[in-house]
């Protein structure tokens, strides 16, 4: 101890000799706040009994005693045991002093803060809780809650594993059945280097879904060439189109190279596997491994099947809608404030959801009765209630411009007597101003255009892509408000459309059979890097396809029913899946 004091004096003399006055002041300030008081006995005793205990500073007292224990090596058993006894005596003295001083609140505060640690030390402190049964009960309940939360997480993981095992066994039984039957697939003829009349090249990727649905024959037209395809079961068809965007955002033909399989390959996905025309085999969806997750959160706030769910522009909030006309705004992260959480009752079917691109402040809700509601998440109220014309009551999609304060609504008329995607009649595309909340213009689609099902802006908001129920894709110049090109992408309805990661290609998701669209529209979503494509599924798992590179795809953790809606986090490797089992799952890739 004397050596330490001597060293401190030498440091002071050196700093004075060199004229480091600021450093000397900082050194003196640090010494004055030294928790160990230089290990000087009289100063330590004065600090404990005249300051900490007298002023009921239990937190600092416990911190000081913990500091002394850290200074003693565990190999010095005698000193360690002595220090432990000294700690018990000092803490008990603090409790007695507080009771004698009439400060029962300080005793309650002490046990509330340190009760768990004291109970874990064994019999030394058990009897001291005898006079404080309420505190003991609170401490016990806290431990119970903590253990229950841990057990619930483990049970959720085990449940997911059991569901995966059950699904694997069912798949094995299905394969055994299929092996006993003869399955015939028609070869797909490929026309290389042919172009569309609009100057767009196509690669077709057919993704398998529920084998219980029937699928009709479909064909993809490329200019004057036709590729016939015959299928044994229903599946959505995903096509990727290559485009070339110059500085003025005009579109011209270019050659498409699909990284996963190679340029010029046509890809087919059957229920039992994926094959390419050149004879190479690739993995099928059923063979995809289960995705490994670091984080899993399940939201159970809905009472009917989920129809749509979207991350906000920052990813902090999630909006989810169910078929009973209810929208819930919530957060998956407990560290994010829940002040924006809300339940919105629309009283009619929710057709579309869209967050404002520049902030999380506004959520747009499109309904089946022609309504477009703008919900302010901070004020927790509808700030504007717009309506389309009576002729176009179904607001199938909404998209906000990433740059301008505008959004586009895709509304459709209704044909009666049908319950699927083809029940939508004609289309209307309206551009709305988000400052005045008034319609600016209606984009031209020609006479009696088929319903538009999906919209997508490019990065600067100058180009808008729109897909239709007749299999057409339309491209609009938003500056001029005119259609600049269009081409037939599918022989059946297109349900979803996306720009590729580099915006030189477009992904479109269609159907081989209109009956497969009765319950909901299928969706797809690209991750922030444009490498993974998540697609809805008639199965309890959603496939994640690898768009770039040669890695195999993955399958999400299972729900209890079909996957009806999907979305990726705007910045993180995290995605969400909504299901017909009324739940929404948020998963973070490991």
Report the range of poorest mean pLDDT among 250-259, 309-318, 535-544: 250-259
Q: Are 211 and 271 spatial neighbours (Cβ–Cβ below 8 Å)?
A: yes
Task: Look at residue 320 and tell me whether its pLDDT is greater than 90.
Answer: yes
Q: What is the rounded average pLDDT for all residues in the chain? A: 75
Please give the biggest Cα pair distance in the chain: 99
pLDDT score, position 184: 40
pLDDT score, position 421: 53
pLDDT in tens, 321-366: 999 999 999 998 887 888 889 999 998 999 999 999 888 899 999 9
419 or 495, which is more confident: 495
pLDDT mean over 511-530: 69
pLDDT band per the 50, 70, 90 thresholds, residue 31: low
pLDDT band per the 50, 70, 90 thresholds, residue 167: confident
Q: Are 517 and 499 spatial neighbours (Cβ–Cβ below 8 Å)?
A: no
pLDDT score, position 220: 34
222 Cβ partners below 8 Å, 6+ apart?
A: 191, 194, 195, 196, 201, 202
pLDDT score, position 522: 85
Question: What angle is formed at CA 449 by the lines to CA 446 and CA 452, rounded to 5 degrees?
Answer: 120
pLDDT in tens, 250-263: 333 333 333 333 33
pLDDT score, position 464: 95
pLDDT score, position 283: 52
241 Cβ partners below 8 Å, 6+ apart?
A: 200, 201, 202, 203, 256, 473, 487, 489, 505, 506, 508
Task: Look at residue 413 and tell me whether its pLDDT is greater than 50.
Answer: yes
pLDDT mean over 466-492: 92
Q: Are 420 and 518 spatial neighbours (Cβ–Cβ below 8 Å)?
A: yes
- Rg of the Cα atoms in the chain: 33
Bridge partner residues of 221 (DSSP): 226
Task: Look at residue 391 and tell me whether its pLDDT is greater than 80.
Answer: yes
The strand order across the sheet containing 318-322 reads 306-311, 318-322, 326-330, 342-345
pLDDT in tens, 189-243: 333 333 333 333 343 443 333 333 333 333 333 332 333 332 333 445 566 554 4
128 or 257, which is more confident: 128
Read off the DSSP letter of residue 479.
T
DSSP secondary structure, 256-267, as one string: ---TTT-TT--E
pLDDT score, position 175: 74
Residue 282 phi/psi, 5° resolution?
Answer: -135, 170
67 or 479, which is more confident: 479
Residue 42 phi/psi, 5° resolution?
Answer: -65, -40
Report the range of poorest mean pLDDT among 10-24, 161-175, 262-276, 335-349: 262-276
Task: Look at residue 160 and tell me whether its pLDDT is greater than 60.
Answer: yes
pLDDT score, position 140: 60
């Amino acid at each position: 101890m004397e050596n330490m004091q001597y060293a401190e004096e030498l440091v002071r003399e050196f700093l004075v000799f060199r004229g480091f006055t600021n450093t000397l002041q900082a050194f003196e300030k640090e010494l004055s706040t030294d928790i160990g008081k230089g290990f000087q006995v009289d100063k330590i005793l004065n600090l404990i009994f005249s300051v900490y205990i007298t002023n009921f500073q239990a937190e600092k007292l416990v911190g000081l005693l913990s500091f002394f224990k850290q200074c003693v090596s565990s190999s010095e058993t005698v000193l360690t045991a002595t220090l432990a006894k000294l700690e018990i005596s000092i803490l008990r003295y603090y409790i007695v002093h507080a009771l004698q001083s009439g400060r029962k609140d300080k005793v309650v505060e002490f046990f509330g803060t340190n009760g768990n640690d004291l109970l874990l030390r064994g019999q030394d402190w058990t009897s001291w809780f005898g006079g404080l049964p309420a505190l003991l009960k609170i401490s016990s309940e806290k431990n119970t809650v903590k253990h229950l939360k841990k057990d619930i997480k483990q049970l959720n993981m085990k449940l997911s594993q059991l569901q995966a095992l059950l699904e694997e066994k069912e798949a094995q039984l299905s394969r055994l059945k299929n092996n006993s039957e003869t399955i015939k697939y028609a070869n797909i003829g490929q026309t290389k280097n042919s172009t569309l009349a609009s100057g767009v090249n196509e690669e077709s990727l057919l993704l398998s879904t529920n084998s219980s649905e029937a699928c009709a024959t479909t064909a993809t037209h490329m200019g004057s060439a036709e590729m016939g395809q015959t299928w044994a079961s229903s599946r959505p068809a995903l096509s990727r189109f290559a485009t070339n965007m110059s500085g003025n955002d005009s579109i011209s033909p270019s050659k498409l190279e699909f990284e996963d399989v190679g340029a010029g390959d046509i890809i087919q996905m059957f229920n039992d596997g994926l094959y390419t025309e050149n004879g190479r085999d690739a993995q099928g969806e059923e063979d995809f491994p289960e995705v490994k997750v670091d984080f899993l959160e399940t939201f159970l706030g809905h009472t009917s099947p989920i129809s749509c769910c979207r991350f906000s522009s920052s990813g902090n909030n999630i909006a989810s809608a169910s078929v009973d006309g209810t929208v819930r705004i919530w957060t998956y992260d407990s560290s994010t404030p829940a002040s924006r959480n809300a339940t919105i009752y629309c009283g009619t079917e929710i057709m579309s959801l869209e967050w404002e691109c520049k902030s999380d402040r506004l959520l747009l809700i499109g309904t089946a009765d022609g309504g477009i509601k703008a919900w302010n998440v901070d004020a927790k109220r509808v700030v504007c209630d717009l309506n389309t014309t009576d002729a176009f009551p179904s607001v199938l999609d909404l998209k906000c411009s990433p740059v301008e304060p505008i959004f586009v609504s895709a509304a459709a008329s209704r044909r009666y007597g049908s319950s699927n995607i083809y029940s939508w009649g004609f289309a209307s595309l309206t551009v709305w101003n988000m400052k005045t909340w008034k319609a600016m213009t209606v984009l031209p689609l020609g006479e009696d255009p088929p319903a538009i099902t999906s919209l997508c802006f490019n990065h600067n908001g100058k180009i808008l892509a729109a897909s239709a129920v007749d299999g057409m894709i339309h491209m609009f110049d938003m500056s001029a408000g005119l259609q600049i090109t269009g081409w037939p992408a599918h022989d059946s309805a297109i349900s979803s459309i996306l720009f590729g990661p580099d915006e030189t290609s477009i992904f479109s998701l269609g159907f081989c059979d209109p009956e497969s669209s009765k319950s909901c529209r299928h969706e797809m979503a690209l991750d922030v890097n444009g490498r993974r494509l998540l697609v809805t599924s008639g199965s309890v798992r959603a496939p994640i396809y690898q768009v770039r590179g040669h890695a195999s795809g993955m399958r999400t953790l299972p729900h209890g029913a079909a996957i009806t809606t999907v979305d990726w986090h705007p910045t993180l490797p995290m995605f969400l899946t909504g299901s017909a089992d009324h739940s929404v799952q948020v998963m973070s890739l490991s």
